[in-house]
Chains A and B, each alone.
Chain A
Amino acid sequence: MAIKQISVFLENKPGTLLEMTGVLAKENIDMRALSLSETKDFGIARFIADDVYKAASVLKEAGFINSLTPVVGVEIPDDVGGLDKVLRVLNEAKINVEYMYAFLGGGTQEHAYFVFRVGKDKEKEAESALKAKGITVVTQDDISKV
């Protein structure tokens, strides 16, 4: 099961990210991972939260345009070549990675977690390819528990 990532439209000017994190903090939402991409006048904040639907609705109420995007979460041992192994699997399956970002594990320190945005509707395919090679795929439930 793919993880739901929240993508938020932000103006590229001082204070907008703070405004967003303020809403999340006030509503007691925990961010598990965050990535920002930007152009000169706007950006998109992409993040994984413990309670994705609550996060989406409180942001909408606060006037932040956002959408949910399915992404693939993978647990990677904190060893040399860990990411390389995952990308190799995706490459063999001819699955393109549009963007990705990493986050550190919560409970255990031996693993890092990566979030991959693969091509549209390719999440299931990517997940089964990874599982077949013994790579641990993270679910929304795992995220909430981290």
Chain B
Amino acid sequence: MGYYQKEIECAPRGEIVALQNERLLAQVRHVWDNVPYYRKKMEEKNVTPKDIASIDDLHKLPFLSKKDLREAYPYGLLAVPLADCVRIQSTSGTTGKRVVAFYTQEDIDLWEDCCARAIMAAGGTKEDVCQVSYGYGLFTGGPGLNGGSHRVGCLTIPTSSGNTERQIMFINDLRATILCCTPSYAAYLGESMKEMGMQPEDIPLKAGIFGAEAWSEEMRRDIEKTLGIKAYDIYGLTELSGPGVSFECEAQQGMHINEDHFIAEIIDPDTEEVLPEGEQGELVFTAVTKKAFPMMRYRTRDICVLTREQCPCGRTHVRMKKPRGRSDDMLIIRGVNVFPSQIETVLLNHGYAANYQILVDRVNNTDTLDVHVEMTPEMFTDNMGEIAQMQRKLVEGLRSMLGITANVTLVAPKSITRSEGKAVRVIDNRKLY
């Protein structure tokens, strides 16, 4: 497997830290001078750029959160004249108001570099045909991977999301070798190809770069099997540029964070204290190279763990484990924390496909948890007793994973709406506010 920017991706630790120190200092100064909103936050904490001498002083800086983005919308966090910006991207707005992020040309160049690193880590070269089935437009998925694919020199097929038949036609007719999309869409494409009678060995794809939503290890294995590929995880947020903040290498043991651009910390989400390496907590990023929309200590709400253990791929950048889910994805049901990814793990372990929906409601002041999962042809039997037994085992599996009881309903195949972008996994009908 190759590297897009080997010198920095495999740089000795000391070199990375030196670069981070230099870039952080410049970025703090840039923000102090150009973003009154953040300057005020620093002043409230009695911090000035002089107090920040190295990344060891990072903890002195105030956090930014989604709330700040809302308050400062749309221009309050902009750090360059609007005339220097060349593009905006925006979030889907699923968890509240849309985020609008601004980019200078240089910001876009660096972002696309990060995506190119991800594609090469997945084995991409200029010989490859890369189909980008992430949505194009305001969503960062399509534009980010499209740019990365160009930089690597792949033949890029910008299908965007949707029109599954056309997706499959291009994969086959143009012999696409790399597929970029959300994991739920990859699973759907795999399912559709299987139905059309295509075997994994008939499918020209060799690798997939999947991200923009939480997915489980079991789902990865499923997708890999159906499509006959190696599936790589990619991570990012619109606030920080988009996909490519971190990406997986062939070791598939966590995603390397592009540390020359993003400094990562793990904090306790309640006390906001920085936690030592190896502990689970909320991921916080400081973007040190972004000029138009610099995020300082941005709270991602993603819960995960960092590791600096040496990676067999040779990259030296810190790795983050697959987030267990965004803290906004976390459901509190009868006082117990439940992540949709935990439910997915149990379903896949019991032989079901990742076609499911979680319904939460409140009846007589008690939370109810219903999991709807599609029956599959492989699991169907004429024997009612056996099906009931399967259902009981699943309920038992969920109870031991979650600590609470869920009602399991087996539903007809294809009755759960397929998503071409981010899957709608949870429907919470509780009126809590």
Contacts and interface: CB of A to CB of B under 8 A. Distances in A.
Interface of A: 5, 7, 9-11, 16, 37, 39, 41-42, 44, 46, 60, 63-67, 69, 98, 117
Residue of A5, A7, A65 with most partner-chain B CB within 10 A: A65
B375 A65 contact: yes
B237 interface: no
B382 interface: yes
Contact of B413 (A16, A39, A65): A65
B412 A67 contact: no
B413 A11 contact: no
B387 interface: yes
Contacts of B380: 7, 9, 65-67
Contacts of B388: 39
Interface string B372-398: 000111001111100110000000000
B414 interface: yes
B414 A7 contact: no
Contacts, number: 46
A33 to B, nearest CB: 15
Contacts of A60: 377
Given A42-B375, A42-B387, A65-B375, A10 B412 contact: yes
B382 A69 contact: yes
B382 A44 contact: yes
A85 to B, nearest CB: 27
A42 B381 contact: no
B382 A67 contact: yes
Contact of B412 (A16, A44, A46): A16
B85 interface: no
B412 A63 contact: yes
Interface string B356-375: 00000000000000000001
A64 B380 CA distance: 11
A46 B382 CA distance: 8
Contacts of A63: 412-414
Contacts of B5: none
Contact of B381 (A10, A39, A67, A117): A67
Interface of B: 375-377, 380-384, 387-388, 409-415
Contacts of A66: 380
For the complex of A and B, list the 3 residue pairs with the smallest distance between their C-beta atoms, beginning with the closest: A7-B382, A69-B382, A41-B409
Nearest to A40: B409
Contacts of A69: 382
B378 to A, nearest CB: 9
Contacts of B413: 63, 65
B71 to A, nearest CB: 46
A14 to B, nearest CB: 13
Nearest to A6: B382
5 contacts: A7-B380, A9-B375, A44-B384, A60-B377, A98-B383
Contacts of B382: 5, 7, 44, 46, 67, 69, 117
Contacts of B414: 63
A69 B411 CA distance: 21
B376 A11 contact: no
A39 B375 CA distance: 15
Given A10-B412, A11-B415, A63-B413, A39 B377 contact: no
B231 to A, nearest CB: 27
Nearest to A66: B380
Contacts of A98: 383
Given A41-B411, A44-B387, 15 more contacts: A5-B382, A7-B382, A11-B411, A37-B384, A42-B375, A42-B387, A42-B411, A63-B412, A63-B413, A64-B412, A65-B380, A65-B412, A65-B413, A67-B380, A69-B382
A41 B410 contact: yes
Nearest to B387: A42
Contacts of A42: 375, 387, 409-411
A7 B384 CA distance: 11
A133 B380 CA distance: 36
A66 B381 CA distance: 8
B412 A11 contact: yes
B153 to A, nearest CB: 42
A22 B33 CA distance: 70
A18 to B, nearest CB: 14
Contacts of A5: 382
Contacts of A10: 412
Contacts of A39: 384, 388
Nearest to B385: A98
Contacts of A41: 409-411
Contacts of A7: 380, 382
Which of A5, A9, A16, A37 lies at the interface centre, i.e. has the most chain B CB atoms within 10 A of its CB? A9
